[in-house]
Amino acid sequence: MVTAAQIKQYLDEIQTEIKKVVFPTQVEVKTATAVVMVTVIMISIFLGLVDRVLSKLVAMVLS
């Protein structure tokens, strides 16, 4: 059974760990978001081109 003292200790440990967390700055968040967006766009374009080329190859083989 969990006691009140154990719950208090657990919550104190959580508070201690939260104080150690370093949250990113607004500039870091914006930079990381931009990097992710550019990466997703580049991969989407690449996969679109690969799909188009493979579709043309399959069409040529089947016709």
% of the chain surpassing 90 pLDDT: 95
* Model pTM score: 0.68
pLDDT in tens, 43-63: 999 999 999 999 999 999 998
pLDDT at 30: 98
The pLDDT of residue 51 is 98
Map out the domains of the chain as residue ranges. 22-63
Could you say which DSSP state residue 2 is in?
Answer: -
Please tell me the distance from the alpha carbon of residue 57 to that of residue 42, in angstroms, as a whole number.
Answer: 23
CB atoms within 10 A of CB 30: 11
Residue whose token pair is 């069409």? 59
So what's the pLDDT on residue 7?
97
